[in-house]
């Protein structure tokens, strides 16, 4: 089930059940990155380490991926799937990741 398909009541129940996700939306969103970048963003194989990534640079890199200005095998497609608020939450999360 996706968040957008949830009724407000179901969404509230989910937020109450997962206070960590509510308090740190970046942590929840980062689960989608863990399969490739590792649980804390430490990088796996040839996938880059993104722990402690500079917030402003993250936003810049993300925009470059979206607009195909940065070489990418997969991040160009991934970057298009996130809203500005989600990108800001991810930038904040990985800036703090260690
Ligand atoms: C399917 C695997 C995969 C997933 C999922 C994925 N990444 Fe990536 N990521 C890569 C690869 C591979 C690169 C290197 C660029 C490329 O080839 O696309 C990369 C590069 C990056 C970079 C640039 C690092 C640098 O300085 O060169 C950032 C930032 C990044 N990813 C963030 C994320 C975030 C945030 C998520 C989750 C929303 C995510 N990635 C999900 C595979 C992935």
| Block mean pLDDT (10 aa), the chain, length 98 | 71 65 85 97 97 98 98 98 97 97
Q: What angle do CA 89, 93, 94 make, to 5 degrees?
A: 120
The predicted pLDDT at position 25 comes to: 92
The predicted pLDDT at position 61 comes to: 98
Ligand 1 center–CA 37 separation, angstroms: 7
The predicted pLDDT at position 96 comes to: 97
Most informative mutation of 37, 40, 57 for ligand 1 (most atoms within 8 A of CB)? 37
Scanning the structure block, which residue is given the tokens 């990418």? 72
Q: Whose CA is nearest to atom 1 of ligand 1?
A: 36
The predicted pLDDT at position 22 comes to: 64
Structure tokens at 38: 């590792």
């Amino acid at each position: 089930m996706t968040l957008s398909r949830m009724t407000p009541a179901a969404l509230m129940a989910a937020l109450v059940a997962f206070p960590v996700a509510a308090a740190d939306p970046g942590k929840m969103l980062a689960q989608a990155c863990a399969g490739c970048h590792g649980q804390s963003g430490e990088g796996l194989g040839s996938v880059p380490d993104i722990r402690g990534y500079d917030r402003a640079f993250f936003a810049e890199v993300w925009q470059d991926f979206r607009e195909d200005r940065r070489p990418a095998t997969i991040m160009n497609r991934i970057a298009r799937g996130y809203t500005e608020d989600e990108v800001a939450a991810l930038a904040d999360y990985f800036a703090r990741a260690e």
